[in-house]
Amino acid sequence: MFFSLMNIRSILMVLSLGISSFIGKTMYDAGEFKSIHSHFDGRCTSVYGLNGPEDITILDNGIALISADDRWKTLEGIPVQGKIFSYDLNDPLPQLVNMTQDIEFEFHPHGISTYQNKDGEIRLFAVNHTSNGNTIEAFVFQDDRLMHLETISDPLLISPNDLVMLDRDRFYVTNDHGTRTSFGKMSEEYLQLSLANILFYDGENFHIAMEGLSYPNGINKSLNGDTIYVSESIGKTISICSRDSENNTLILEKEIYLDSGLDNIELDKKGNLWIGSHPKALAFLRHAKDPEELSPSQVIRLSIKGNGDHISKEVYMNMGDELSGSSVASVYNNMLLIGAVFEDHFLLCHLGE
């Protein structure tokens, strides 16, 4: 009896130590123990008039396109129609313009991407999360509005997050999870399972382009289109991939560890990557449940050299009082726009010299 009790106590102690170690590792990996010091070499103003400006991309002419959806309302079970706004950075007094006010279907945009052909036609594709499933919505610019072209759907769109267009029809899209159920997704996140993937759409069908990823989030391409960049939020890395010329699968060439919950990727005119990021993942999860809970915001600029070397710089960091849960950083000239997953505003910042 004595030995049985001792064995039980030993087992319970081992289990307790194992659980404590798992919790501690999870908190450490999520950045819970990081010291956050707010800084930015410039000035920022808040732009209101929208909810959930999760993704922002800027056209060559200085028109910013902003994917916005009130995700708190969706979580409350009372979803409202999402929107895509334009915001002219060349206008001394820019105004938000709803580009999707004419659409009549359910619209909750997430990641967006654009492509402009030689004739000047601009197409925009958007990830859309509806009550009936996930889709990709295709639009074309027409008279300062986005005219809907088609809805693209497929069972492979398990959990689409962001996409990057290669031309007017083809694109890559990230599935940030590999499972469909809430329990499965939670298991992927807390156990840091690499079950997610990237899809390639050839204009007619989807194909798996890359597998074994840990929450692939943002995706973009190099200025010449030969290289694909992917951010992994749980993996905390930027994956640099080449494209197979025959089947468009992605080949991992290099990983850059940046120790943060990386979100969307945008490029400036020099080819530098600008990444909106969540330095404290658990703080972001608390913020997602309660607007009063602040989540630090971070912007990282990543410069990749021709010889494969890279330089990363933290351009912006804030405790979350200026903007909580930053998800994207997009640059035009000396202006930096920082968006967020849930907030009712984005930041228009002017970079210091």
Output the DSSP codes for 181-194.
SHHHHHHHHHTT--
**Residue 347 binned pLDDT confidence (cut-offs 50, 70, 90):** very high
Do 128 and 107 meet the contact criterion of CB atoms below 8 Å apart? yes
Per-residue model confidence (pLDDT) at position 33: 57
Which residues pair with residue 160 across a beta bridge? 175
Write the CA distances from 170 to 97, 117, 266, integer angstroms. 27, 13, 19
Cβ neighbours for 93, distance < 8 A, ≥ 6 positions apart: none
How many residues does the structure list for the chain? 353
pLDDT tens-digit readout, 52-105? 999 999 999 999 999 999 999 999 999 999 999 999 999 999 999 999 999 999
Q: Give the residue numbers marked as catalytic.
A: 110
177-185 long-range Cβ contacts below 8 angstroms, 24+ apart: 177/215, 185/159
Segment among 29-33, 38-42, 246-250 with least mean pLDDT: 29-33
pLDDT tens-digit readout, 230-252? 999 999 999 999 999 899 999 99
Per-residue model confidence (pLDDT) at position 343: 98
Which residues pair with residue 141 across a beta bridge? 146
**pTM metric for this prediction:** 0.92
Name the residue ranges covered by the structural domains of the chain: 1-30, 36-351
Cβ neighbours for 39, distance < 8 A, ≥ 6 positions apart: 314, 316, 317
Per-residue model confidence (pLDDT) at position 30: 61
Whether the predicted pLDDT of 17 surpasses 70? no
Whether the predicted pLDDT of 29 surpasses 80? no
In this structure, the dihedral spanned by the alpha carbons of residues 240, 246, 247 and 250, taken in order and rounded to 10 degrees, is -10
Output the DSSP codes for 147-168.
EEEEEE--TT-SSEEEEEESSS
The one-letter code for the residue type at 155 is P
Whether the predicted pLDDT of 193 surpasses 70? yes
For residue 88, what is the enclosing H or E element?
Answer: strand 83-88
Per-residue model confidence (pLDDT) at position 35: 78
Whether the predicted pLDDT of 204 surpasses 60? yes
User: Which of the two residues, 156 and 144, has the higher pLDDT score?
Assistant: 156
Per-residue model confidence (pLDDT) at position 167: 96
CA distance 210 to 303: 24
Overall fold of domain 36-351: Neuraminidase (2.120.10)
Per-residue model confidence (pLDDT) at position 271: 96
pLDDT tens-digit readout, 151-162? 999 999 999 999
Which residues pair with residue 329 across a beta bridge? 338
Whether the predicted pLDDT of 34 surpasses 80? no
Read off the tokens for 66.
């902003």
Cα 189–195–196 angle (5° rounding)? 90
Whether the predicted pLDDT of 334 surpasses 90? yes
3-state secondary structure of 178: coil
Do 222 and 238 meet the contact criterion of CB atoms below 8 Å apart? no
For residue 56, what is the enclosing H or E element?
Answer: strand 53-58
Segment among 31-35, 115-119, 303-307 with least mean pLDDT: 31-35
